[in-house]
């Protein structure tokens, strides 16, 4: 990335701060990455990605169940239900 994320001003090599608007490049990139990671975590797609990308799918599912239980919101309960369906589908496909 060689332009400022805030104002689009050309970014100088090795610069940490935009001369145009005064924004810190690394901080902005960090914040955006953090926000994207947070948003993805909150989506079911992100949850599945996390589970499927983990080396131990069984453990990841258990962790997911634990966190879904702890949430105890309608969304959490729904996630729990979806995960159970997912596990059930896995078992059925094996049998
Ligand atoms: Zn700028």
Predicted confidence (pLDDT) per residue in 40-83, tens digit: 777 767 777 777 787 887 887 788 777 766 766 777 778 778 88
The length of the chain, given as a count of residues: 95
Residue 27 Cα, ligand 1 centroid: separation in angstroms?
12
Instruction: Delimit the domains of the chain by residue range.
Output: 1-41, 43-94
Ion ligand 1 neighbours (CB, 5 A) are: 4, 6-7, 9, 18, 20-21, 23
Residue pair 50/42 in contact by the 8 Å Cβ criterion: no
Residue pair 39/7 in contact by the 8 Å Cβ criterion: no
- In angstroms, the CA 8 to CA 93 distance is 51
Residue 33 Cα, ligand 1 centroid: separation in angstroms?
18
Residue 36 Cα, ligand 1 centroid: separation in angstroms?
21
Q: CA distances (Å), 90 to each of 16, 57, 78, in order?
A: 49, 12, 18
Average pLDDT, the chain: 80
């Amino acid at each position: 990335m060689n332009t400022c994320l805030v104002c689009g001003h050309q970014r100088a090599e090795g610069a940490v701060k935009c001369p145009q608007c005064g924004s810190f490049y690394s901080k902005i990139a960090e914040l955006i990455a953090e926000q994207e990671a947070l948003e993805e975590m909150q989506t079911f797609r992100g949850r599945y990605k996390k589970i499927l990308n983990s080396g131990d799918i069984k453990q990841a599912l258990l962790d997911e169940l634990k966190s879904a239980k702890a949430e105890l919101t309608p969304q959490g309960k729904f996630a729990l239900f979806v995960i159970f369906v997912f596990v059930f589908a896995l078992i059925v496909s094996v049998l």
